[in-house]
């Protein structure tokens, strides 16, 4: 019985629902078998051993139930991922990375896909004239602020780039009280510029938010990006 806590911990740490399900199912059997054998052979078990065994089985069954629920949710996520892949005409694997990263950083997946489309056209190796890198076009300095130790090479790796880029967007969403349009504008123009314009009573929007949310190109955004580059500071 001493092994049960370690197995339960392993089950809790497993990322894939299918693995959780296998671990949880494997955990039920020893406890149930132990109690059945004890009953058949007439073993005298003290209350502490009985309680530990029953507790282990209950926890195992709970783990299995949670794993089944996670598996169902994952199946639904995969369906949505396939829809996003079709909508944005990108490979499923890339759509899966974007969708997963968006959920992990608490960003609306639709907004996340729109941002990657606007920033890099889904090109993992995209580099802007001002040095913004990868799918979400992050500056290395911004990435290091959000995730200390992140290198330029790291930003060319899709999973890292997406997680840190969406983390930055999440930060801006929190900074602007959940205002998606302002957060997206700050992502493109920089929060310093947005704050300065707001303080002077001017509208900081330049069409970038519409480009992310609707996919429609805006000539003003294109001209601004050509002239100044995409500076996020």
CA–CA distance, 95 with 98 (Å, rounded to integer) = 5
Count CB neighbours of 41 within 10 A.
Answer: 7
Catalytic residue among 59, 97, 105, 119: 119
Contact in structure between 173 and 119 (CB atoms under 8 Å):
no
Active site residue 57: no
* Cβ-proximal residues to 42 (8 Å cutoff; 6+ apart), any chain: none
Q: What dihedral do alpha carbons 221, 153, 140, 157 form, nearest 10°?
A: 50
Residues catalogued as catalytic: 119
């Amino acid at each position: 019985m001493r092994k049960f806590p370690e197995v339960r911990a392993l089950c809790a740490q497993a990322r894939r629902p299918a693995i959780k399900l296998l671990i949880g199912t494997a955990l039920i059997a020893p406890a149930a078998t132990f109690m059945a054998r004890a009953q058949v052979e007439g073993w005298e078990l003290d209350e502490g051993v009985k309680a530990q065994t029953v507790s282990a089985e209950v926890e195992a069954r709970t783990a299995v139930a949670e794993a089944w629920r996670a598996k169902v949710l994952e199946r639904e996520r995969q369906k949505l991922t396939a829809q996003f892949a079709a909508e944005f005409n990108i490979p499923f694997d890339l759509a899966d990375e974007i969708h997963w990263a968006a959920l992990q950083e608490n960003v609306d997946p639709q907004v996340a896909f729109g941002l990657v489309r606007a920033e890099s056209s889904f090109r993992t190796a995209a580099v802007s004239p001002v040095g913004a890198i990868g799918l979400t076009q992050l500056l290395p300095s911004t990435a290091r602020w959000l995730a200390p130790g992140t290198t330029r090479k790291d930003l060319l790796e899709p999973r890292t780039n997406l997680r840190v880029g969406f983390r930055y967007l999440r930060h801006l969403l929190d900074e602007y009280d959940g205002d998606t349009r302002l957060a997206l504008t700050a992502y493109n123009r920089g929060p310093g510029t947005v704050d300065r314009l707001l303080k002077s009573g001017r509208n900081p929007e330049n069409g970038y938010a519409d480009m992310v949310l609707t996919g429609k190109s805006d000539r003003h955004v294109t001209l601004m990006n050509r002239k100044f580059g995409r500076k996020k500071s």
